[in-house]
């Protein structure tokens, strides 16, 4: 019971890795429309490195330790821009979760979103992964106020809307920004992969039996 959060978290990373692997070419195609077509490969590489690093962890680690391990594995494996962004997001989530064996999903989402935003100096509306992470984190807070039992329904809805909303946006960051208005009409690959991770979270971290 004590390590329930960590086990679920490790399962989450492996499910996210599988989902990203399955969508690898699709993500790269989306990226090819507005940038350099490497997003699927970068994400897949990073998550594979994360799962193999997590497999080496002791059973007794805390959720924050899981995130720390994931951050450094991801960063060392990919570099690129997603490396520092997700590494910063995971590290920040680790900080929020420090000292607790229970996995608080709202704190986790908030930590990831804030970490990514700080590293990339980004905000929503810029056609990036933040258009998924920020609404997801806010939806979790909203669910806590309104209907904690449905937290993942709130989060998933907001994340999916967020990913879809990038279609109408013009990229202002990263390589896609170079094509300016030509980026409109294309959904952002970083937002799509972020949604895959949120979905893996909902699958593995949702349906909590009871308060751990």
Partner 1 sequence: MTESSTSAKNRSARAAASIGSSVIPLKFGDDPQVWACWLYYEDRLTQSEIAEAMGISRATVNAYLADARERGIVNITLDPQRLASLTVAQELKRHFGLHDCLVVPSSEPAASLIDRLGAAGSLVLRQFVRSGDTIAVGWGRTILSVAAATTLTGLQDVRVVQATGSVTTGQPDSPEICAARLASAIQAECVPITAPSIVSSSAMRDMLMAEPLIQSQFQALSHASRAVFGVSSLRPNSTIHSSGFFDHAPLQTYLGLNAVGVIAGRFIDVQGRSVRGPLGDRTLGISLESLRGIERRIAVAGGIDKVPAILGTLRGGYADILVTDAATGKALLEADGVKGLTRPTQRPQTEPSAPAEVQRRHVKKFLNDPDDIVDEMLDGAVRAHGAYLEPVPGTRRAFMAREAPREGKVGLVVGGGSGHEPCFLGYVGPGMADAVAVGNVFSSPPPDPIARAAQAVSGGEGVLFIYGNYAGDTMNFEMAAELVQANGIPVRTVVTTDDIASSRAEDRDGRRGVAGNVLIFKAAGAACDKGWSLDACERAARKANLQTYTMGVALEPCSMPQTRRYNFSIGPQDMEVGVGIHGEPGVAREPMQSADAVVDMVMNRIFTEMPSQSGDRVAVLVNSFGSTPLMELYVLYRRVEQRLKTKGLTVAARWVGHYCTSLDMVGASISVMHLDDELAELLAHPCDTPFFRVGK
Residue 77 contacts partner 1 per CB under 8 A: yes
Residue 18 binding partner 1, by CB under 8 A:
no
- The verdict on 124 binding partner 1 (CB under 8 A) reads yes
The residue within the footprint of partner 1, chosen from 4, 18, 37, 102 (CB under 8 A), is 37
CB of residue 35 to partner 1, shortest distance in Å: 6
Asked whether position 160 contacts partner 1 by CB under 8 A, the answer is no
Residue 131 beta carbon to partner 1: minimum distance, rounded to whole angstroms: 10
Nearer to partner 1, 12 or 94 (CB): 94
Q: Is 95 in the site for partner 1 (CB under 8 A)?
A: no
| 99, two tokens | 């000292």
Q: State the nearest-atom distance from the C-beta of 186 to partner 1, in Å.
A: 8
Q: What is the DSSP string of 150-210?
A: GHHHHHHHHHHHHHHHGGGPPP-STGGGGGGGGGTTS--HHHHHHHHHHHHHHHHHSS-SS
CB count within 10 Å of CB 185 equals 12
Site string for partner 1, 167-186 (x = CB under 8 A): xxxx--xxx--xxxxx-xx-
Q: Which of residues 131-150 bind partner 1 (CB under 8 A)?
A: 135, 138
Alpha-helix residue ranges (DSSP H) falling in the chain: 4-22, 24-34, 39-55, 63-78, 82-97, 105-120, 130-146, 151-165, 189-205
Round to whole Å and give the CA distance between 29 and 211.
Answer: 41
Tell me how crowded residue 163 is: count the other CB atoms within 10 A of its CB. 25
Between 55 and 100, whose beta carbon lies closer to partner 1? 55
Evaluate whether 162 touches 191 at the Cβ level (below 8 Å).
yes
Based on the shown chain and the rule CB under 8 A, indicate whether residue 125 belongs to the binding site for partner 1.
Answer: yes
Question: In angstroms, rounded to a whole number, what is the distance separating the alpha carbons of residues 190 and 187?
Answer: 9
Closest approach, Cβ 2 to partner 1, in A, equals 33
Q: Does 189 participate in binding partner 1 (rule CB under 8 A)?
A: no
Return residues touching partner 1 (CB under 8 A). Answer: 25, 28, 32-38, 41-42, 45, 75-85, 119-120, 123-125, 135, 138, 165, 167-170, 173-175, 178-182, 184-185
């Amino acid at each position: 019971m004590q390590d329930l959060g960590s086990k679920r978290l490790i399962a989450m990373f492996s499910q996210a890795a599988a989902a990203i692997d399955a969508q690898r070419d699709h993500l790269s195609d989306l990226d090819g429309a507005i940038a350099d077509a490497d997003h699927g490969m970068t994400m897949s590489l990073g998550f594979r490195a994360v799962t193999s690093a997590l497999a080496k962890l002791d059973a007794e680690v805390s959720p924050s330790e899981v995130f720390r391990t994931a951050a450094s594995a991801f960063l060392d494996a990919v570099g690129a821009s997603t490396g520092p962004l997700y590494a910063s997001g995971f590290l920040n989530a680790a900080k929020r979760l420090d000292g607790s064996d229970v996995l608080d999903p709202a704190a986790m989402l908030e930590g990831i979103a804030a970490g990514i935003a700080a590293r990339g100096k980004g905000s929503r509306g810029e056609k990036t992964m933040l258009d998924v992470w920020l609404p997801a984190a806010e939806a979790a807070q909203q669910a806590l106020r309104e209907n904690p039992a449905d937290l993942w329904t709130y989060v998933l809805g907001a994340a999916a809307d967020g990913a879809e909303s990038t279609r109408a946006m013009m990229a202002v960051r990263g390589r896609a920004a170079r094509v300016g208005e030509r980026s409109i009409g294309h959904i952002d690959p970083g937002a799509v992969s972020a949604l895959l991770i949120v979905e893996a979270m909902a699958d593995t971290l949702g349906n909590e039996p009871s308060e751990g």
